Chains A and B, each alone.
Chain A
Amino acid sequence: MTNPLTTYDGAQLGQDVCRGRIDLSQDEINRFCALMGYDDPAYRAGAAGGAVAPTSMCLAFGLRLGWEEQVFPPGVIRVGDENTYGVPARAGDVLTTCLVIADRFERKGRRFLTYDMVTTNQHQEQVCHVRFTAIMPEAPR
Chain B
Amino acid sequence: MSDLPQGSTIIKVTQALIDAYAAIAGDFNPVHVDPVFAATTPFGATIAHGCIPMEPIFRLVQAHLGRPVMPQGSRMKLRYLRPSHPGDTIGIVVKTQHESGLEFQCVNQSGQPVIEGEVRYG
Task: Decide if A80 is an interface residue (CB 8 Å cutoff).
Answer: yes
Q: Would you list 10 pairs from A and B whose C-beta atoms are within 8 A, ordered by A residue?
A: A38-B68, A42-B68, A42-B69, A65-B26, A74-B31, A75-B29, A75-B30, A81-B76, A84-B75, A87-B72
* Other A-B pairs, 4, CB within 8 Å; known A42-B69, A67-B25, A67-B29: A74-B31, A80-B79, A82-B78, A132-B50
Q: How far is the CA of A83 from the CA of B72 in the complex (A)?
A: 12
Does the CB pair A60–B69 fall under 8 Å? no
Interface residues on A, range: 35 or more
Question: What residues of chain B have their CB less than 8 Å away from a CB belonging to chain A?
Answer: 11, 17, 20-21, 24-31, 41, 49-51, 54-55, 58, 62, 68-80, 117, 122
Count of A-B contacts with CB under 8 A?
Answer: 107
Specify which of B21, B69, B122 is in contact with A35 (CB 8 Å cutoff). Answer: B21
Does the CB pair B29–A84 fall under 8 Å? no
